[in-house]
Amino acid sequence: MRDFCARVGVETFIGTSGRVFPKKLKAAQMLINWQELLQSYSGFSLFKKHSLKSMNSDKKLHFDFEGEDIEVSAENIILALGGGSWKKTGSDGKWTDMITKLGIEVSELRPMNCGFEVNWSDFFKNKFERGHLKNIRITHGDRSVRAEVMLTTYGIEGSAIYALSNFIRDDIESSGKTVISIDLKPDLSIEEIENRFKAKKSKESMSTFLKKSLKLDPIAIGLINENGHKASASRVKNCEVELRNCRPIDEAISTSGGVLFSVLSDHFESKKVPGLFFVGEMLDFEAPTGGYLLQGCFCTAHRACQNF
């Protein structure tokens, strides 16, 4: 696998930095390299623009190619049709009906690594539109992540939120809303911040103090003051934000749900339709961004192929 990745130009195929591909240009070149490498194997054929429309338990597949129906049969089939987000890439999740009809259990596709909606005040929306909060800590329940988030007119997203998104989503689904806490100064203790508040000069405005003494950006100060809140050390350390809805599934970076592991062998072969394998985001797993999803796709594909 490492050799294959090196040959097509994937520098890291699991990364803590999230930089799976170094640059956009390199990613495009990588796909070309990948395609060329695959085509160099005898017996490999690539059929572009073929859309899988149906299949039956005898493993007869029907593809649509420019309006033409093409039937293909195979002894072994590995499906890697993706999840149900970013439909413009072709991963529309329509396969769930096709697979369910075969009697193979699939759990509902739901957004994961997604943004959430917040009912910001008009003042906040007009003033900030979109901005980053860097080097912060987000806590939801007993889980907490240190990273950054982006505040937008509709709500909040970004790596810290994505990492907690399945828990936040589940809480919203059961309770209609949930609350996260943002620590805007994770490197300073509450006592240290209280001491700085005590040392604030009486003539200094609160926003000047927050900017100079605590090095907070205007958007962080706006968040502290949102909905008439007064600035305090506890508000800096524990700025609560109520989240109401997930953003639409199509905007999510990935989807949870998919073909249940319980109906598959440990090589991801269907117990109901032997010879039919599922890999990648079609499977019912969830992972944070940062390379873990791609790693899951590579690993499950590798494992399925070990069966042959």
31-to-37, 79, 263 alpha-carbon distances in Å: 10, 19, 32
Cβ distance to ligand FAD smaller for residue 114 or 138? 114
Q: Is the dihedral of CA 29, 31, 36, 40 positive or negative?
A: positive
Q: Is 269 in the site for ligand FAD (CB under 6 A)?
A: no
Least distance in angstroms from the C-beta of 253 to ligand FAD = 4
Q: Which of 18, 131, 186, 275 binds ligand FAD (CB under 6 A)?
A: 18
Cβ distance to ligand FAD smaller for residue 90 or 228? 90
- Within 35-64, the residues that bind ligand FAD by CB under 6 A are 51-52
Cβ distance to ligand FAD smaller for residue 253 or 273? 253
Query: How many helical (H) and strand (E) elements, i.e. helices and strands, does the chain have?
Result: 10, 13
Least distance in angstroms from the C-beta of 178 to ligand FAD = 24
- Cα 194–200–203 angle (5° rounding)? 155
Asked if residue 308 lies in contact with residue 269, where contact means CB atoms within 8 angstroms, the answer is no
Q: Is 91 in the site for ligand FAD (CB under 6 A)?
A: yes
Asked if residue 283 lies in contact with residue 300, where contact means CB atoms within 8 angstroms, the answer is yes
Q: Which of 77, 291, 298, 304 binds ligand FAD (CB under 6 A)?
A: 291
Asked if residue 112 lies in contact with residue 259, where contact means CB atoms within 8 angstroms, the answer is no
By Cβ distance, which residue is nearest to ligand FAD? Answer: 90
* Pairing status of strand 77-79 against strand 276-278: parallel
Residue numbers at the binding site for ligand FAD (CB under 6 A): 18, 20, 51-52, 80-82, 86, 89-91, 95, 253-254, 280-281, 289-294, 297
